[in-house]
Structure 1
Amino acid sequence: MSVSLHADIDLLLSIYGNSGPLSVWRVLKEYDCGTAHIEMPVPPITKTAMERMPEVRCHSIDQHNVLVATGAAPWRHAGWQYSAVGSFVTEVAYPVEMEAPGFAKKAIPAFREAVRNASPVPPATRITTTREPEGADDSRVRRADELAQLLGLVSDGEPAPAAREGAAPDPSFFADEAQLSLCLA
């Protein structure tokens, strides 16, 4: 007797399926199974895993908090070092690992080392704060308003400025890597 896996699938499932009377391993022996050669194009590997590592720039705000810019992304307050590493894993390492296995094993320690060795923010760095970044919830915007009032940037009851730039930086720091844009909320 001969059956086709595709043409006779209903018959095979009724006999060997989950609720069928026979178990497939009672009928097939190890010599009945083998490998089949299937022609399938494999995409050429164009880059090694670490060649996909985006440029990582870090500055420390204090002992724990860091500013991070990955690739062409703008600077952001990444929080404490462990939080910065966690964000890197989910936002950068995981997607690249799916395309280039082995990336995360090398990239995560490299990123962790960059964060650990982050240089302090240069004193003359210009920082632009934004009151209401896209996606910020109302409580954060209210907190930004309260902070601006406490700092004396606005009068009581006034909202924080939509955007506020710091003092002009020293020309020696007037470079892309020294221009930060942070969200207040």
Structure 2
Amino acid sequence: MGSTISTAKKVAAFQSAKGNTFYCLFEQTYESNVSPKTPRWSCCAFGDLQVAMERIFSAGSACEGGMLRYRGGSVLPENYIAAWLREMANPSGMADVPVELSVSGSFYSTWSEDGLQERKDALLALGMGDIVARLEQRERVRLSLYENAELLAELVKNHGVSHWRLLSINSVSGISGGESHLAYAPEPVKAPMSVLPAAMRLDENNYLLQNEEGSWYGAGWAYSIVGDYIRNVVMPAELASPGRYKKMIKAMRDHLEAAPALAQDMTVTISKATLDRNPWWLKQVRDKFTLLPASDGGAAIGVPYPFVGEAGEWYALSRLDKDDATWSIGLPQQIALPMDGPKPEAGTVFFETEPVKIGNHQWKLVVLEDEYYGPVTQFQFRSGDAGAPWCSERKWPTWDGNLANAGMPESLGPRLFQPYEKLVKEALKGVSVALPQLSLF
């Protein structure tokens, strides 16, 4: 996996015709796994101070895991952010260039034809009726940057326009500090440090963090936790009370490094909504753990200390979102029989349709137990001879998983899936479902 290499930064600022300050951020980068390694400038943010700071801190968060670094090696997020803030304090000017909007199939066009139509109602609501009409006629529409800064910033923020398609570093005018009256250089403000959530190590890489009400949740690896903290906590705190970001980032990093290892029995409770939404995930978990019913209709998993399992087992549990699962101290009370029950053997059929003839072959839809994914749907076919063996859809001569119908006959859906959709969904829960009996009267 490659990294983005940052080689230079530039901030330009201007005041719109309406008197609002806008920032244009440019960064020179290349990808470590692409040759030739030629750094190129690109506009990476355009908007007000909030937009600029969000981009700076979001990119800085990627430095913690090494996805963004300098040519000489890794860089701490706080040092990367500091370099941008120096540029924000010494912005160059931005010329009032004509910004072009266009619609075509070109990669560099503002929108594709479909993209414009998808956003047409929203653009009309912005008062862009004349512009939309011209774009639909394949005209290239040029707008003054200063006169239309607010509109352009809205298009970038909410309507699918890429800032790098609108602005070029060639439009930067003057020297650094040339727009000092628009600089962002606030005086540091003394403010109390944010309270950090309690943390525990699951293993060498995975962590638990504590919710405000006292339960815990799987928060992933340290670099991910620090990255989320930079984006969601440090950035707004820095805007409210400038000068805190370095101490805040370091405090979270040190906090995780000092976190104690898990040394007590725990229970993971998975919500019913998660189980209903991800039956394939439930299948994977059931292969590794004993599931007990939870009071809310979900499932509880006991994690006794010391945990003697594989890293993959930790990963399966710790990657659940905080809204999907919570951790609590102590082992679950077995209030009923385990949810697991005997595991169906691979190939167990839960439901199948009557065969139908399509062309020279017979087809049927089957719901069966997959070795890895649990209950799955599968189309099967055989030649017109009723005694011929049934074959999996993947053996169909034109099968292609990248196509919408996987290269199989288009009538399979209307004839075999749609009439039995409710029964198929029931069978995908791992329940045997029979075809309804036809009435004789």
Structure with the larger helix share:
1
Whole-angstrom distance in 2 between the partners of 1:70 and 1:132: 20
Match in the other structure for 2:194: 53
| Distance 1:70-1:152 versus aligned 2 partners, 3 A rule | closer
- Identity of counterpart residues, as a percentage? 23
Kindly report structure 1 stretches of 4+ aligned residues shifted beyond 3 Å.
Answer: 70-74, 131-134, 136-139, 165-169
Match in the other structure for 2:277: 138
Whole-angstrom distance in 2 between the partners of 1:153 and 1:72: 24
**CA deviation vs aligned residue, 1:53-107 (integer Å, no higher than 9, x gap):** 1233110000111112366685221111101111111121112112111221111
| Distance 1:79-1:144 versus aligned 2 partners, 3 A rule | same
Contact kept in structure 2, 1:93 and 1:104, CA below 8 Å: yes
| Distance 1:107-1:87 versus aligned 2 partners, 3 A rule | same
Whole-angstrom distance in 1 between the partners of 2:244 and 2:276: 35
Gaps of 5+ in 1: 1-16, 20-34, 36-44, 155-160, 170-179
Whole-angstrom distance in 2 between the partners of 1:18 and 1:81: 44
| Distance 1:77-1:18 versus aligned 2 partners, 3 A rule | closer
Match in the other structure for 1:162: 298
Give the alignment of 1:1-12 within 5 angstroms: none
Aligned AA (1:162) = G
Contact kept in structure 2, 1:75 and 1:181, CA below 8 Å: yes
Match in the other structure for 2:228: 87
Highest RCO, 1 vs 2 (Cα 8 Å, sep ≥ 6) = 1
Contact kept in structure 2, 1:67 and 1:77, CA below 8 Å: yes
Whole-angstrom distance in 1 between the partners of 2:214 and 2:291: 29
Whole-angstrom distance in 2 between the partners of 1:149 and 1:96: 44
Contact kept in structure 2, 1:128 and 1:166, CA below 8 Å: yes
Which of residues 108, 111, 118 in structure 1 aligns to 2:252?
111
| Distance 1:72-1:87 versus aligned 2 partners, 3 A rule | farther
> What secondary structure, in the 3-state scheme, does the structure 1 residue paired with 2:195 have?
coil
Contact kept in structure 1, 2:267 and 2:302, CA below 8 Å: yes
> What secondary structure, in the 3-state scheme, does the structure 2 residue paired with 1:120 have?
coil
The number of equivalent residue pairs is 123
TM-score (structure 1 length as normaliser): 0.51
Give the alignment of 1:63-74 within 5 angstroms: 63-69=204-210, 74=215
- Aligned-CA RMSD value: 4.0
> What secondary structure, in the 3-state scheme, does the structure 2 residue paired with 1:97 have?
helix
